[in-house]
Amino acid sequence: MRIMFFQPGSAKKAVSGPERQTVQLAKAFVARGHDVVFAIILVHKNENVEKTSIGIHAREQGLSLIPVYIPQKYNLVHSVKALDLVVRFWQPDVICTSEYKADVIAALYNKVPSIAVVRGWTGQNWKIKLFEWLAKRTFNRHSAIVVVAPAQRPEVLRYGVPAERVFYIPNALDVTSIPPPHERQTLMREIGKGEPAPLVGVVGRLSKEKGVDVAIEAFEGFLRQGGKAYLVIVGDGEERLLLQRKVETSQISQRVAFLGERADGRQIIGALDVLLVSSLTEGLPNVILEAFAYKTPVVATAVGGVPELVRDGETGWLVPPKDPQAITRAVMEVLQNPVESRRRAENAYVFLLREFSLNKQVDKWEHVLEFVSIGRR
């Protein structure tokens, strides 16, 4: 089958979790005999598709790229015409979309079967809210919808998509592809901390829905209770300045390091004593799968698909959202009880291999491709 992955590109330093998931899946499709191309949305003609974060990563994996130039990025008529030109050239059997803008464009195009992957909704600003609103109201124009968390399924059904066209396929991780973790001592030197202490980390986009402000409050409470550790915040986003000011005006600035957006974010996860995911909303977080692969203990909020991964008492510590005190207690337990932390981390690794393997994910995807192909006949 000829499969076109259609999604926006950006010049970020680091590959995002959704981008990494898509490239991993595309490479697996090629290994199973499918023809695959990435159609990447670009806004300016002078942009180079091979210099986008997803373009660089796709090329490293030997995958083909084609640009879809949409200079008037909010003009949907123009966007549909731009997609049509690429489809006529490459003639895919199916279009797989990722992110709200690509979802809407492919749904309106509607000349080729399409599969929209729903990873969650952020509502970061009015433009994103508008496109997410449009994406939901055009769900039923897609041939199939893939959700990465069971909690997303009722929301999709609410917009009139027949149940047989909604498929649950969680994110997956090929543990053979992850790089070795950074040495803790190397990371300690980088953040300029000489005194040995455990490392608690937040890794991801610094936007409101990630609840990083709650993580900082929890860490402040941890220190007030006599805890000894450093908080490492990896990522960038519109909340970064506010978060930095929050730290600077507190009594914890000497214990917190902002490392910005990093291409080696996964390796940093491997060097942490605790990964903290304090999100207010989520799909199925890639960072948790990566923590499982590195056997890094996880404290995470019970939102979206997180409870599918973090099973309290078994594979990590699950806490309520917007509850810094609960996060503080969980981090305390992780660091004060290394035997229990190792037990849950080992359980998480086995759970990852059993339930979230790449082969299992691709098998489920091929079922969706077959469903779409039959519906096309």
Beta bridge partners of 145: 116, 166
DSSP symbol at 30: H
d(CA 306, CA 310): 6
Q: Catalogue all structural domains in the chain, each as residue range(s) with its CATH number.
A: 2-172+357-376 (3.40.50.2000), 176-355 (3.40.50.2000)
In the chain, where do the E strands start and end? 2-8, 35-42, 64-69, 94-98, 114-118, 144-147, 166-168, 199-203, 230-234, 256-260, 274-277, 298-301, 317-319
Give whole-number Cα distances, 188 to 182, 196, 206, 227, 272, in Å: 10, 8, 22, 18, 10
Position 150 pLDDT exceeds 60: yes
**Tell me: the pLDDT tens digits for 70-83?**
877 668 899 999 99
**Tell me: the pLDDT tens digits for 257-289?**
999 999 899 999 999 999 999 999 998 999 999
Question: Given this model, what pLDDT does residue 374 score?
Answer: 84
Instruction: Supply angle C-alpha 278, 283, 288, rounded to 5.
Output: 55
Question: Given this model, what pLDDT does residue 129 score?
Answer: 78
Position 15 pLDDT exceeds 80: yes
Q: How many helices (H) and strands (E) does the chain have?
A: 15, 13
Question: Given this model, what pLDDT does residue 377 score?
Answer: 47
Whole-model pTM? 0.91
d(CA 204, CA 200): 14
Q: What Rg value do the Cα atoms of the chain yield, rounded?
A: 21
Question: Given this model, what pLDDT does residue 122 score?
Answer: 65
Mean residue pLDDT of the chain comes to: 92
Share of the chain above pLDDT 70, in %: 96
